[in-house]
Each structure stands twice: as structure tokens, then as C-alpha cells.
Structure 1
Amino acid sequence: MIRNYFRIAWRNLVRNKAFSFINILGLALGLACSLLMILWVQDEKSMDGFHANSDKLYQVYVRQSSGGKVDAGYLTQGPLAAELKKEVPEVAYASGFQAFPPVALRVGDKVMKITGAYAGADFLQMFSYPVLAGTKASAIDKPGTIAISRHLAELFFGGPEQALGKTLRYEDTVSLSVTSVYDVPANSSQQFDFLRNWEDFTKNNAWTKTWGSFSPLTYIRLRDNADAGKVAAKIKDFVYNYQPRNNNSYTELGLQPYSEKYLHAVFSNGIPDGGRIEYVRLFTLLAIFIMLIACINFMNLATARSVKRAKEVGVRKVVGALRSSLIIQFIGEAMLLAFLSLVIALLLVVVLLPAFNHISGKQLSLPISQPVFWGTLLGLTILTGFVAGSYPALFLSSLNPVRVLKGSLKFGSGATNFRKGLVVFQFTLSILLMIGMFVIYRQMDYVQTKNLGYDRQNLIYIPIEGSLISKYDVFKETAANLPGVLAISKMKETPTVIQHHKGDISWSGKDPDDVPSFADAAVGYDFIKTMHLTLLEGRDFSREFGNDSGSYILNESAVKRIGYQHPVGQPFTLGNVSGTIVGVLKDFHFNSMHDAIEPLVIRLDEKPKWGTVLVRAAEGKTTPVLAGLAAICKNLNPEFPFTYQFSDEEYTKLYKSEQMVGQLCNYFASLAVFISCLGLFGLAMFTAAQRTKEIGVRKVLGASESNIFILLSAGFLKPVFIGMLIAFPLAWYIMNHWLEHFAYKTDLEWWIFAGAGLITIIIALLTVSFQSIRAAAMNPVKSLKTE
């Protein structure tokens, strides 16, 4: 019997090639799209899942309140990790962690720019990064040591074992001994090619020994019998063991499971709430919705074809076929289509995966060697076939054989409304996706074109490394004479992201209980000129005024926070350096637009041991300027390859996740609309078949072809209009919630919704026009003869 069912299913599939192609294509696209999104979601959820003691690993975050405003973040004080381990018995291991931009490492004549970090001696013992050579305990337990990745060991020494005991030159200033080689799995949220000893970091950065600066990250691992809730309560006021309390503000510590940090890294009201988890939920819903849209298409197309199969069902019932056997037959046909669709979907995934990886920044692959994968696909195919074929099977098997064999099949209003409801659901989802696509594009365009307060075009970043540390003045003087170079300065970080914060700040009239947090930037001469910043009051740092080491420039937000009416010339103290305010800058963005502009204090530091040279090139002169800078660096710093970044490109990287989601939404929205139109096409086929005689009567009574076309098209567009009415308020709510994650955002204007609706209407009209024109042009004599 099963063989007979299969033979009938195959015969119907081959006989109705166009119908079968549309149905299989719709299901295949839905399956391929859903499979790609499921692979992405699984990869996101598996991030950092390899750590053996994941339930005991935590990241410390700081929650601060001042003036009724609550802020929180992961930047902590330098001494925190060591003090937590010493003072809290439940803490087994603790480590600070400070990542840095790529630095130059040398072995012999080979020099490479590598990304790494400083970490405490406990770091590799806390986390489960596999150690391939050496031991975790002795990896970075002494100054002058370095642990390197397998990639680095193979790059410089040929392998992990060969690297042990060898020496690396760091920035051509210090020699470091390789004590261990580790591996960083691809599903680690932290990627670093080397780790340096924490004492080396604190020795060169005195601020890491104070409780007034915030920059490193702090990780802890609790003992096996420790209660995380009790530990969190115990360390909540931990910082007040080292600094006085005050009445108007507070600083608290919190704990977040490290396994949750990757997906929940956005704070709301001082606690982790949201982040990439929202994209995981979004893609999960998209996978489900697009599969539903594909299954709904199958239902509509199969029902449209039921007009031609009704007599087959009637004959089968007359000769004794049970309803259960008919249900099995039709669901079996759906399973066959689902299986064929799955084969095509897998081929599509294989073809599209490289492009998908490029957009998403992943290294996804089909886990074809895992039985669970094939079991899941089999289950998905069966579920898809059952869901897609259930309604047509139940509907066709319920037909009355007497009614069917006496005349053409007629459907009640309930069945018709159900099918229209499915199309409404499809277009509601499609319009939601389309509006989301428009809003994400507008927001990305907004952040890319908004005036940041400085000119990021033609601004070049060059790392201060090797001989440039001591020869910066020579470099600046030589480079300033290059044609096309307008200005040169430097700073410890980059204007794109300033993370370092200071809390030990005071000014005249400051409330003793006020504990502020200002972003802190150390810069060189000509900083304002090079950045094209707007100076509202005072001056830039200048040698004409002697030693400016005690001078400070503040932004508008900092002046507002302090409360000075006439800030220039007023006293200001940062750390243990007292001085005066010499200038006030108009606020400019020095972080992502997810965050509001913070108070910023800028100080002069002409002798940093690391940082970034800022070069302002004239418009259209960037290429010759880069060639000249490369020649100067080769002369002054021959041991290091010349590297650079453009400010606008570095700024764009801040929105990598949003850009990825935006691109994928473009493709998925287009795909959803296409699949939905297949469903509308199915409804048009069904309606045209049902109204054949009605159309013939209307034409006999004098209706023109244009009248018939308008009549049918209007009926087809009703589900689209209803979908718009449902989608618009939902889209406004969802996208308004998404935009709330940006401190500076575009507006949700009416034309976005109107544009999405108009595009949907045009596409729907194009979809149904073929069936409408075909029905309107049909010979009425032939229509009235149709049984």
C-alpha cells in the first residue's frame, strides 16, 4: 500500500510540474533560510560553553549612582581582582584582564602585529583554554613572561613544544620568555594570541594601583561550595573598604555568570539586561516565521489544486477508501515534497554558507558527521511535511463524494476565510520584516552621517611602537613637511573609543560626597587642530604657555557636571595633579552612539609609552600622504612594518552587529515577501478556479475585462491591507524598542510604514495580475461550459 501511495504521489508531482516546482521551491527556500539561522543561533548559544567550571565563573561589574542616575559597566578598578582573592574566602581564583590593540612581536627577523592582553597569574587556571605546552599555574606567574597561542607558536617557532623557553621581543623594548602555549577555541568570545604578566602592566601604569581609575576587566572563580548569591551580597559594598562612603552617590559591585556575558552585555537600571540575546531571539523567531510562511504556502497551493483532485477523492471514497487512508496518502505526498525540498535546501545552504559566514562574521559549517544533526533534519522534515500537509489532507479527506461527483467543488466561507487568514499572517510577517529593514538601514545611515563633533574623514591612525616612542618629535616634524599633511597629534587611545575612566577628581566647591566618573584622554600638542574639534572657550595645549602638564581641557558635559559658569582658569584636580582648566570643547562622540556623551577630561602627555599618532590629511591627498608616512616610518622605525587605520573605518566597526543584522534582514525580508507572494499566487489560482462561472456570467451581462480584473485584484489585495493594519502597530512597537538601545537615533517617520505598504501592494499586484488577467480574458462560453 505504501508503495502505491508513493507511486501516486510521484505521478501527481510529475504531472503538475509547475505546481510542484512552486511548492518545492517555497519549502526549500524556507528550510534553507531557517537552517542558516538555526546554525547561527546555535553558534551564538554555544559561545564560551567549553569552560569546565562555567557555573563558578563570574565577571565583576560596577554599578554607580550619582544625582539619581544609575550607570553600570564592566570596567573595574585595577587592584580589585587581587583584593577580592585576598579578602573573600569564597573566591578561589581572580584575575584582572586588559586587552590592547595589536602590538609588534619579534623573533629574529620576523615581526608580526598581534592582538593580546595582560592578565593575572590565575587567568589560565580559571578558564578552560587548553594548554598545549607548559603548565597553567606557571604560565604568566612572573614578570617578564608571556603565554602564546598555538597560532603564534607555529608562526614563530614551528610548534608549541619548540616555543617553550624561547624569547620574544615585545614592541622592540623588552624581551619576554615563553612559558606556555595554549589554544583558543573558535567559540570563545575572547580571542587573544598572547597573555602577559599582570605585574608588568601595573609596573608601567601606576593608575592601576589606585581605586579612582576604571579600565581593566575582573574575573573570579568561586570555590565549589560557594553560594554565588551570598558572595554577590558580600562584595556589594567591597570598594568602601578602600575609599570613604558618601551620601549622594554609591558604588556597588555585582556578579554576572561568565557564560551569560556574551549574550547579555547591555545594562539597564544597573543590571545586565539584553544584548546579543535579542538578536538570538530575533533570528529564532525569523526561522520559525519563515518556516510557517513556507508551510502556509504549501497549504494554499495544495488547496488550490484540490479543485482538480476533488473527483479523485470522490471516486476513492465511492470504491471504499477510508478517510484515514486518504489522510495518510495526502500527508505522505506532503512528506515527499518536504523531503525533496530538504535535499534542495541542503544544496542551497552549502552554496550560500560562505556568503552567510562573510556577512555574519562566523565560521559556520554543516555538522554532517553528527548523528544529532541528521536526526534533527529528519524530525524537521517530518514536522514540516505534517504541518504543511495537515490542512489539505484533512480538508480533501472530508469532502462529500456525492456533492463532488454531482458537480464542481464549492467551498464554504469558513474554508475561504481560513485560507485568507493564512495569507494575512504571511503578509503581516513580511511587512514587519520590511519595516525592520528600512528602520535598521536608516539608523545605520544616521550613525554614519551624523556630525560626531569631529571630522573622521581623512584622519589616519598610526600605532606608536618601537623607535617611534622615543622619536615621535622627529616623526612629527618630518611628517608635517609632507605635502597634504595638515596637522599631527597623538593620544593614548583613539578618538573612536575612549574607555579609560577616572573617579578621583575634584574641583572648587565640589560636594565631598560626590563621586564622579569622567572619561580620561591623554593627548599631545595640536590635538584640537588635528581632530577639527570646536573650541568654545580658552585654548588648546601649547608650548607657548610653558609647561601645560597641569592644564586640562574639558568637554561641555564635564563642565555641566562640575557646575562652573566660567570654567576657563578655574581649579581642577585629576588624581594627584592639581591644575587649571584652560579650554572647553563642544561635545563630540568618542564612543558608540549606543551611549550618551560622557564628561571628558583631556590632559597633556607628550611621553606615552604606547598610543596612536593622529595624522590629518588634506582631501584627495590621502594616498601620497600614506606613501610619505610609510617612508618616514621605514627610516625612523625600520624594525616594525608600517601599519595604519582610517578613522571612519574604525568608527564603522562599532556597529558591526547592527550592520550584520541589517544585511541579513534585507535578505530575509525579501525572501519572506517572495514566499508570501507564492502564497498569494496560490490564493489567486484557487479563487480564479472557484469563480470561473461567475466571471463568465458577468462577461455575458456586459462586464469588461478591466472590470473583471479590478474585481479580482481587489479581492486578492484585501489580505494585504489587513496584514498592513496588523503589522504597522507591531512594527512601531518593536522598532521603537530596538532604537531605545541607541542614545542618539533616527525618528520613526510615517513614510517608512507607507513605503513598506506601497511596495507590498505593488509586489502583490504583480503577483496576482497574471491570474487576474487570465481569468478576465477567458472566453465566457468556455467558462459557462466548465463543470
Structure 2
Amino acid sequence: MIKNYLKIAWRNLTRNRVQTVINVAGLSVGLVCSLLIMLWVQNELSVDAFFKNGSRLYSVYEQQHFDHKTNGSYNTPGITAGEMKKVLPEVEYAANLGFGQNNTFQVGDKVLKQQGTSASADYFNLFSYKLLQGNAQTALNTPVSLAISRKMATAFFGSPQAAIGKTIRYENHKNFTVTAVFEDLPKNSSQQFDYVVNWFNFLEENSWAREWGNQGPSTLVMLRADADPVKFEKKISNFLDTYSNLNRKTATFIIDLALQRYSDGYLHGNFEDGKITGGRIEYVRLFSIVAIFILLIACINFMNLSTARSVKRAKEIGVRKVVGAVRSALIQQFISESLLITTISVAFSLVLLVMLLPVFNQVTQKQLVLPFNQAAFWGRLVLITLVTGLISGSYPALFLSGFNPVKVLKGTLKLDAGTTTFRKGLVVFQFVLSVILITGTIVISRQMNYIQSKNLGYDRENMIYIPMDGNLAAKYNLFKDEALRMPGVQRITRTTNTPTNIQNSTGGVNWIGKDTTINIQFTQASVGYDYAKTMKLQLLEGRDFSKDYPTDSVGYIMNEAALKRIGYKDPIGKPLTFWRKPGTIIGIMKDFHFNSMHEEIKPLIIRLGENEQWGNILVRTQPGKTKQALASMEKICKELNPSFPFTYYFSDEQYQKLYQNEQIIGRLSDAFAFLAIFISCLGLLGLAMFTAEQRVKEIGIRKVLGASVSSLFALLSSEFLLLIVISLFIALPIAWYAAGQWLQSYAYRSPMQWWIYALSGAIIVLVALATVSLQAIKAALINPIKSLRSE
């Protein structure tokens, strides 16, 4: 029976080749999109989900209450983990984790920069990364312990086995002993590093992290198997009060601690009013919906074309019923045809998938592979095939199998209004989805262009920053003097923070008239002389830091947002105390963006730090001479700092990285919107071809009676254009709301102007018109003699 169904199905497919090609092409493209998104979503969901005791592994985060608002942050005091393990019996293991580092290591003559971090001794007990050498208990238990990756061990020592117990020079001032070698971290780990040094090293280099009043590192805990996370979270809420001698009744800055399962952090990393509200999970949900939409559009094409050709198959169905075919057998026949087309489409989609996956990986910056060796993948593929085949074929099967054989064989069968309306409704629905995707693409593209073109308040072009590794901090003035004499170098200053990432904040600012009942947090940074000139910041009042003014060591420059909070009317020369260090305001700079545009510009105070022993050298090069300037500075660095490789970063490239996710989403949206339109237009083309075929004699009669080609074109096109217009009326309000919700995540955003929606409508109308017009014109130009010859 099944063999017979398949044989008949194959004959029908080969008999109606054009319809078959359109159906297979539409379903194949839809399936490719869905499978690509499925692989991406699966990869996103797998990040950090592979740890052995992941259900008991938690990040501790802060909810900071101040200035009548609440902020959320993963930053905690650098001694929180040790104290929690000491005093809280529910904690089995705990570790503080430092910031991402890029440090220099040396063995013999080999000097390499490596990405790494600092962590407490329990780190490898928390995270079940595979250790090739050493063990989790002793990997980081001494001040000179160092755990390195297989890649780093091979680079320096030839193999993981040879690395154990060996000495390696760190930043040319300290020796570490390799106590463990771990397998290179999997790509679905949110942490990516090649070494981990003991937490003693972090505290030694960052003495501020020993104080309870300072936040920065992350705190991670693994609860005992019998511990209740909900009760534990309540227990630690006021944990910091004891150590900071806090009186909650009078305090103006209060910190509560809370828990988040570590594996959730990658996808749920955004805070709103101190609570975790979302993050990358929103993009996972968005593209999961897009995958379903695109597959639905392809399925709708199949339904439409199948029901549209129902009159062609009416006599076949009538004859089958007369000779005894029951409705269930006919339904099985049509479902088998649908499943056959879907199976062929899946085969084509797998070929396309293999071809497109490298491009998709390049766009998404992933390393996805097709898991052909996994039974689960084939299981999901079979499930997708069955679901797609059943959705595509269900309505046509029910519809076609319900024909009355008497009417069919008498030739009096007509499609009722309900059937026609349903078919038109399907067309409207798929174009509604297409319009929403087009509008979303335009909005995302405009926001990205807005971010690229918006005046940041400083000039990020022709600006380089160089990390002050090794002896470069101590020899900064010598480097500056020599570099400024080199061709291509315009200005040089120094800063503790890069221009796109000034995060440090403090409440230790006082001024005349301050309301002591409110704790205002100011972002702060330490900079060198001529910082404003090098950055090309606009000074509204006062001046830049200059070595001509010795009192600048207690001088402060602030932005407009900080001045607004302080409230001085004539600020220049007014007193300001920063970290109990009295001084005066010497300059007011126009607000500039020193973080992502997701955040509002915060109050910022910069102070002079010409002699800081860490940070970055900021260099402004002359336009068109950056390459020449870099060659000169590399030569100087090799002379002054020979034990360290010359490392530099372009300011504009670092700015682009702030919006890496959005750029990926934008490119994917462009591609999927185009494919959705392509699939929709394939279905529209099929319907137009069928409509023209059904009305060929009507067109011949109209031409004989004097109808012009243009009037016939309008007649054939008007029905489809009306459906597109209805789609626009439904889709545009939905698109407006969805785009508005997405833009809410940006503090600074491109305005939602009316022409965006007009453009979306125009694109879909023009594409649909171009699709239909070719077939309409072809039908209108047919010689009426040929079309009426059989009468």
C-alpha cells in the first residue's frame, strides 16, 4: 500500500514539474534557515551547560541600592569567596575570579602573550575542566601555582607532560611553577583563557581588592548537595553588612547579595533595577521564532499551491471515490505526497547546509559543525520532516479528499467562498511575517548606522592605545618624549581605562552643599597631561591637565552629567574633595560616550595620574600616517621594554566590539528577511501562474472584445496586490511595536520615523508586483486564437 502511495505521489510530482520545483525550492530554503538557526540556538543553549555539578554552581551578584535606584552587578569584594566558605556551612567550594588578562610569559628565549585570569584555590573544584596533568585540589594552592592549557604547554614545553613542575617567567618580574595542565577549553565555555594564576597574585597586584568596600572580581560558589539555594540566597542577602559595619537605617549605600545559577549567566546577563531581566536569551528566542516563521511561510506556499490546483485533480479524486476509495485512503495518499516532497526538500536542504555552514560560521563567529554522527541530530531531522510534511499536507489532504464525486464528474465543482478566503488568508499571513522581518531588518540596520555615525564626543579615528606592560609604565615619560619626535605621532597621553570602557565608580566625592542623605556614584578615571586634547574632547569651561600647573595633582575635570549632580553654577575653581583629597575643579567637558550606547552617560570625574604604574598609553596619530607612527613606536618599545612584545589596539576597532552581537544579529536579519521574501514570492509566483492558467480563456475573450494589455495586467495583478495591502495594514503596527521594544535596550537610539514603515511596504509591494507582473504580462500577451481554439 505504501509503495503504491509513493508511486502515485511520484507520478503526480513529475507530471506537475513547475509546482514541484516551486514547492521543493521553498521548503528547502525554509528548512535550511530553520536548521541553521537550530544549530545556532543549540550552541547558545549549550554554553556553560556541561559542568559536572552545574546544578550546584552559582554566581553571587550584588544589588546596589543608592540614589533612589538599584543597580545590579557581578562585581563583588575580592575576599568574599574565602569568607563565605569559612562561615557558611552550605558552601562546599568557593572562588573569586579576576578580570581577563593579557600577560607576557617567558621560557628561555621564547616570549609570548597569553590570555588568562586569576582564581582562588577552589577554582578547578568548581569547574570540571579536564586536567591532563595535576589535580584539582593542588592546582592553585600556593602563591606561585600556575595552571596552563594544553596549547600553552605545547607552545612553551612541547607537551603537557613536559610542562609539569617547570618554571615560567611572568611579566618579567615573577616566576611561577606549572602545577596543572588543563585541556584547551571547549568553544561552548563562556570563559576562554590559556592560564590561571593563584588568587594571591591578584591580591598582590590589586591591593584594593582586599577591602570590603571595593567591588571588582566575581564570586562563585558550589553549594553542598543538601543545601537549599532559595534559603541560602535569603541567608546571604545581608552578608556584607557585618564586614562593612553597615547600619541599614542610616546608610545611603546598601548592598544585597543574590544568586544566579552559573550556567544561566551567559544567556541571562542583563540587569534592570538590580534584577536579572534578560540578555542573549532574547536573541535566542527571537531567532527561534524567526525559524518557525520562515518554515511556516514555506508550508503555507505548499498549502496554497496544492489547494489552488485542486480543480486540476478533481476528476482524479471523483473517479477514485466512485471505484470505492474511502476518504481516509485519499488523505493518506495526499499526506504521502507531502511527505515525499518534504523528504526531497530535506535532502536538498542538507546539501545547501553543508555549503552554507562555513559562511554562517563566519557571520556568527561560531564554529558550528553538522553532527551527522549524533543520533539525536537525525532524530530531530526526522521529526522536522514529519512535522513539516504533516503541516504542509494536512489542509490540502482534508480539503481534496472531501470533494463530492457527483459534482466533480458532472463538471459542476466550484471552490466555495470559504476555501478561497482561507487561501487568501494564508497569503496574507505569510506576507505579514515577511513585512515584520523586513521592518526589523531596517530598524536594526538604522540603529547600527546610528551607532557608527553618532558623535561620541571624542574622535575615535586615528587613535591607538598601548598597554603599559613591564617597564613601560616606569619609562612612560621617556617613551612620550621620544615618540612625539617621530613622524606621524600627533599627541600622547595616558589613561587607566580605555576610551570605550570606563567602569570604575566611587561614592567618595564631596562638595559644598552636598546632600548627605543621598549617595551619588561617580564614574572615575585617572589620566595624564593633555588627555582632553588627545581625545579631542570639547571643554565647555576651564582647561585640560597641564604640567605647567603643579596644583593639577589635586585638580579635577568633570563632565556635564557630574556637574548637574553637584549643582555648582560657576564650577571652575570651586572646591571638590575626591577620596578625602581636597582639590578644585579645573575643567568641565562636554558629555561623551565612554561605554556602550546601551547605557546612559554617567557622571564622570577624571583626575591626574601622570605617574600611575599601570594603564594604557593613548596615542593620536596624524591622518594617513598611522602605519609610519606604529613602526616608530614599536622600535621605541623594543628599546625601552625589550622583554615584552609590542602590543597595540585601535580605538575604533574596540568600539566596534561593543556592538558585536548587534552586528551579527543585523547580518542574520538581513539574510533571513531576504529568504523570507524569496520564499513568499515563490508561492506568489506559483499562484500567479495557476491563476493565469485557469483564466486563459477569459483573457482570450476579453482580448477579442477589445481589452488592452494594460487592463488585463491590472485585472490579473489587482487581486494579489490587494492581499499585500491587507498584509501591510496588519503587519506594520506589529512591526512598530516589536521594533520599539527592541530599541528600548538602548539609552541612545535612532528615531522610529514613518518612512521606515513606508519603505517596508514599498519593498514588499514592488517585489510582489515584479513577481506577479511577469506572469500577468505573459498571460495578457497570449494570442486569443490559441486560447479559444478548443471552443
TM over 0.5: yes
Residue 143 of structure 2 corresponds to 143
Q: CA deviation at 1:189?
A: 0.9
Structure 2 CA distance for partners of 1:504 and 1:230, relative to 1, 3 Å: farther
SS in 2 for 1:559: helix
Task: Kindly indicate whether the alpha-carbon contact (under 8 Å) linking 2:67 and 2:519 is maintained by their aligned counterparts in 1.
Answer: no
Task: Write the mapping of 1:5-84 to structure 2, written as runs, cut at 5 A.
Answer: 5-84=5-84
Task: Tell me the equivalent position of 1:231.
Answer: 232
Counterpart CA distance in 2 for 1:89 and 1:578 is 45
Alignment of 1:564-713 (within 5 A): 564-713=568-717
Question: Is residue 2:173 matched to residue 1:169?
Answer: no
- 1:353 aligned to 2:353? no
**Partners of 1:693 and 1:65 in 2: how far apart?**
77
**For residues 301-320 of structure 1, what are the structure 2 equivalents within 5 Å?**
301-320=305-324
Deviation readout 1:476-523 (Å, 9 max, x if unpaired): 111101122110011122111122222333334434443332222122
1:204–1:401 Cα change, 3 Å: same
Amino acid at match of 1:347: V
Cα separation, 2, equivalents of 1:540 and 1:240:
40
Among candidates 507, 518, 522, match of residue 514 of structure 1: 518
The question of whether the paired residues in 1 share the 8 Å contact of 2:190 and 2:266 is answered with yes
Residue 101 of structure 1 deviates from its aligned partner by 4.2
**Structure 1 residue 22 displacement after superposition:** 1.4
Native 8 Å contact 2:524 2:604 kept in 1: yes
1:540 and 1:230 mapped to 2: Cα distance? 53
Letter in 2 for 1:37: I
The one-letter amino acid of 1:357's match is N
Q: Aligned partners of 1:408, 1:680: CA distance in 2, in Å? A: 27
Q: Distance in 2 between matches of 1:335 and 1:71?
A: 53
By how many angstroms is 1:592 displaced? 0.5
**What CA deviation, in whole Å up to 9, does each residue of 1:178-234 have, x standing for no partner?**
111123222111111111222222222222122333322222222222222222222
TM-superposed deviation, 1:76: 2.2
Identity %: 54
5+ residue gaps, structure 1, are none
User: 1:248 deviation in Å?
Assistant: 4.8
Distance of 2:310 and 2:603 partners within structure 1: 69
User: 1:295/1:699 Cα in 2 relative to 1: closer, same or farther (>3 Å)?
Assistant: same
**CA drift at 1:11:** 2.1
Q: 2: distance between equivalents of 1:116 and 1:505?
A: 34
| 2:467 corresponds to 1:463 | yes
Give the conservation status (yes or no) of the 8 Å contact 1:106–1:112. yes
* C-alpha contact (below 8 Å) 2:94/2:220 kept by paired residues: yes
1:167-316 correspondence to structure 2 within 5 Å: 167-183=167-183, 184-241=185-242, 242-245=244-247, 246=250, 248-316=252-320
- CA–CA separation in structure 2 for the residues paired with 1:519 and 1:86: 33
Q: 1:470 Cα deviation (Å)?
A: 2.4
The answer on 1:335 being equivalent to 2:319 is: no
Give the letter aligned to residue 283 of structure 1: F
- Per-residue deviation at 1:571? 3.5
| 1:249 positional shift | 4.8
| Number of aligned residues | 787
Q: Name which of 384, 389, 407 aligns with 1:403.
A: 407
Q: Does 573-582 or 62-71 show the bigger shift?
A: 573-582
How far the C-alpha of 1:586 sits from its partner, in A, is 1.6
346 and 171 in structure 1: CA distance in 2 versus 1, 3 angstrom threshold: same
Residue 447 (structure 2) aligned to one of 434, 443, 451: 443
TM-aligned CA deviation for residue 547 of structure 1 = 5.8
Q: Quote how far apart the aligned CAs of 1:783 are.
A: 4.4
Q: Amino acid of the residue matched to residue 39 of structure 2?
A: L
Q: CA 1:506 to 1:205, structure 2 compared with 1: closer, same or farther past 3 Å?
A: farther
1:547 to 1:83, Cα distance in 2 relative to 1, 3 A: farther
Q: What do the CA deviations read for 1:148-193 (whole angstroms, capped 9, x no partner)? A: 1222112212222221111222222222211111232221111111
Q: Alignment partner of 1:516: what SS?
A: coil
Output the amino acid matched with 2:44. E
CA distance in 1, matches of 2:71, 2:603: 13
Which range moves more in the overlay, 203-212 or 255-264? 203-212
Equivalent in the alignment of 2:747? 743
Q: Which secondary structure does the structure 1 equivalent of 2:571 belong to?
A: coil
Pair 363,524 (structure 1): closer, same or farther in 2 beyond 3 Å: same
1:111 match: secondary structure: strand
CA–CA distance in 1 between the matches of 2:528 and 2:239? Answer: 37
Instruction: Output the amino acid matched with 1:97.
Output: L
Higher mean displacement: 573-582 or 378-387:
573-582
Report Cα offsets for 1:695-731 as digits up to 9, x if no partner. 3443344322211210221111122111111111111
Of the structure 1 ranges 358-367 and 306-315, higher mean CA displacement relative to structure 2 is found in 306-315
Report if the CA contact (8 A) 1:211-1:243 is conserved. no
| Contact 1:213 1:500 survives alignment (8 Å) | no
Question: 1-side partners of 2:40 and 2:669: how far apart?
Answer: 14
Partners of 2:532 and 2:72 in 1: CA distance:
30
Distance (whole Å) between structure 2 residues aligned to residue 178 and residue 37 of structure 1 = 41
CA RMSD of aligned residues (A): 2.0
> Which whole-Å deviations, capped at 9, do the CAs of 1:108-133 have from their partners, x for residues lacking one?
22222221112222222112222221
Alignment partners' CA distance in 1, 2:777 and 2:469: 72
SS at match of 1:602: strand
Q: Please, which moves more after superposition, 305-314 or 762-771?
A: 305-314
Q: Deviations over 1:405-437 (max 9, x none)?
A: 333752111111111111111110111000000
Residue 760 of structure 1 aligns to a residue in which SS? helix
CA distance in 2 between partners of 1:214 and 1:553 (Å): 24
Tell me how far apart the structure 2 counterparts of residues 362 and 24 of structure 1 sit (CA, whole Å). 29
Counterpart residue identity of residue 235, structure 1: I
| Contact preservation (8 Å) 1:115, 1:194 | yes
TM-score of the pair, normalised by structure 2: 0.96
Q: Is the 8 A contact 1:213 1:501 kept in 2?
A: no
Query: After superposition, where does 1:79-94 map in structure 2 within 5 Å?
Result: 79-94=79-94
Q: Structure 1 residues 473-482 or 696-705, which shifts more?
A: 696-705
SS of 1:19 mapped into structure 2: helix
Q: Is the contact made by 1:131 and 1:182 (CA closer than 8 Å) also made in structure 2?
A: yes
* TM-score w.r.t. length of structure 1: 0.96
User: How far apart, in 2, do the equivalents of 1:89 and 1:64 lie?
Assistant: 25
- Counterpart check, 1:428 vs 2:432: yes
Q: Distance in 1 between matches of 2:383 and 2:464?
A: 54
Structure 2 unaligned segments of length 5 or more: list them. none
On the 8 A contact 1:214/1:502 being kept in 2, the answer is: no
Q: 1:772 aligns to what?
A: 776
Cα distance in 2 between the residues matched to 1:536 and 1:526: 16
